[in-house]
Amino acid sequence: MTKSKQPLSSFPWNIPATKPDRPLSLAMQRLYENYAAPRPEDNPLFSSFKYTKVEGLDYRNNDGTVSRRDPSKIIKVNGCYYMWYTKRDTISPPRGAEHCSDTVPSTDWDLAEIWFATSKDGFTWEEQGVAIKRPEKPLLGWRSVSTPDILVWEGKYYLYYQAFMEASGLKGDHCPVTVSVSDSPDGPWAPTHEQTVPNGEAGAWDQFSIHDPYPLVYQGKIYLYYKAAFGERPEYLVGNGLAIAEHPLGPFKKHPLNPVLNSGHETAFFPFENGIAALATRNGNENNTIQFSPDGVQFSIASVTSMMPVAAGPFIPNAFNNAQNSEGIQWGMCHFSDKADPTTKHSFIARFDCNLMRNGSNKELKETDVIHSPDVFFAQALTPDERACREEQFSIDKHYD
């Protein structure tokens, strides 16, 4: 006699492609409601990341006097990839706000200029020279110009960047954003000397700084994302806001719902399908997530990942064409900051690869079980003070006797 098949009471072995019609734990509900697919391998906005050191950029034996960081998004012009970045070439590594001078930098991005490099393959780069020099005092950015990003609009090129009027670290990392214009990615660049994205009004979350300007063209307008850290340190948050303009020189109108991302430092944004995706790397409850917004404003977590690129500047083929059926990103440049030895502190630019492609049939770079070498963990060692404090606490803590 054959046993009649009973309806299964357990969650099935064969992963249902859509939400099954049965009671679900919150976790399993999220799996079906919050993500594009239950398996990350099938989620176009999930990726693991791989890194490659690049050829062609010299760091003076890593002595800390040369630093390159915060690469822009990458664009391709006449078969050549272009990136712009902060370059510091100073007589010493950063010495902190107390010890800085006209020639000694306070931070890694103090006394910096904006340089650019080109590449045929994204692995070997050729530095082409300075794009934006520090202007004469008291013009905007006389102390330092840093953290650039690029916009192409109606045949012209616009570089947005942080313009410091004092050494960063003196009061905070205070600066507005300005813009320079050129007819060619090779320059020359004409500075506007204007605060293109000004700081917020007194008391606002972005009152002191507009960091990491990141322009895209979306819905026929310039959507410029930016970061600000707010709250008195050490109790602060890092948020990302949006400022929208009809012309690259502004006026930029800040979105009333700012901040639009509650986490993410040096956040990279890219058009994806008909919306905007973001790499929320570092800082905040939602660090290490990739997020998506159907309208460029309302972001939700699309995936949780690890080892995300710091200060990512992806190659975005269609950054400026209104995010229509956008494919996504596969690689870009990022930076690593070598802070282990304060006497040689600097950053260097490297390449990352990922798979954040829509309709990607290829399943490479979708690894959720990324294993680090023990060194990575032990590099996060307790400081001597933290260890002493824990030893003391443990010796008096009788709760576990």
Q: Which residues bind ligand AAL (CB under 6 A)?
A: 70, 109, 146-147, 162, 173, 211-212, 227, 265-266
Q: How far is the CB of 347 from ligand AAL (least distance, A)?
A: 9
Q: Which is nearer to ligand AAL, 227 or 351 (CB)?
A: 227
Q: How far is the CB of 143 from ligand AAL (least distance, A)?
A: 12
Q: Which is nearer to ligand AAL, 211 or 346 (CB)?
A: 211
Q: How far is the CB of 164 from ligand AAL (least distance, A)?
A: 8
Q: Which is nearer to ligand AAL, 199 or 322 (CB)?
A: 199
Question: What is the distance between the alpha carbons of residues 175 and 260, in angstroms, rounded to a whole number?
Answer: 20
Q: How far is the CB of 339 from ligand AAL (least distance, A)?
A: 12
Which class for 304: exposed (0-12), middle (13-18), buried (19 or more C-beta within 10 A)? middle
Beta bridge partners of 76: 81
Residue 180 has a CB neighbour count (10 Å cut-off) of 23
Q: Which is nearer to ligand AAL, 227 or 345 (CB)?
A: 227
Q: How far is the CB of 223 from ligand AAL (least distance, A)?
A: 19
Neighbouring residues of 366: CB distance < 8 A, sequence distance ≥ 6: 40, 41, 46, 47, 48, 355
Q: Which is nearer to ligand AAL, 122 or 169 (CB)?
A: 169
Q: Which is nearer to ligand AAL, 35 or 352 (CB)?
A: 352
Q: Which is nearer to ligand AAL, 28 or 104 (CB)?
A: 104
Q: How far is the CB of 286 from ligand AAL (least distance, A)?
A: 17
- In total, the chain counts a number of residues equal to 401
Q: What is the secondary structure of 42-59 as a DSSP string?
A: G-TT----EEEEPBS---
Q: How far is the CB of 313 from ligand AAL (least distance, A)?
A: 12
Q: Which is nearer to ligand AAL, 265 or 346 (CB)?
A: 265
The answer to whether the CB of 68 falls within 8 A of the CB of 90 is no
The answer to whether the CB of 280 falls within 8 A of the CB of 288 is yes
Q: Which is nearer to ligand AAL, 76 or 282 (CB)?
A: 282
Q: How far is the CB of 112 from ligand AAL (least distance, A)?
A: 9
Q: How far is the CB of 282 from ligand AAL (least distance, A)?
A: 9
> What are the b/e assignments for 209-248, b being 16+ CB within 10 Å?
bbbbbbbbbbeeebbbbbbbbbeeeeeeebbbbbbbbeeb
Q: Which residue has the closest beta carbon to ligand AAL? A: 147
**H or E segment and range at residue 86:** strand 80-89
Tokens of 282: 């570092």
Task: Spell out the alpha helix ranges (H) of 277-383.
Answer: 374-378
Q: How far is the CB of 86 from ligand AAL (least distance, A)?
A: 7
Question: What is the distance between the alpha carbons of residues 31 and 134, in angstroms, rounded to a whole number?
Answer: 50
Question: What is the distance between the alpha carbons of residues 350 and 363, in angstroms, rounded to a whole number?
Answer: 23
Query: Which contacts of 336-344 are long-range, i.e. CB under 8 A and separated by 24 or more positions?
Result: 336/310, 337/69, 337/108, 337/310, 338/62, 342/93, 343/64, 343/93, 344/62, 344/63, 344/64, 344/93
> What are the b/e assignments for 337-371, b being 16+ CB within 10 Å?
ebeeeeebbbbbbbbbbbbbbeebeeeebbbeeee
Q: Which is nearer to ligand AAL, 74 or 238 (CB)?
A: 238
| Pick from 282, 299, 302, 298: nearest CA to 290 | 302
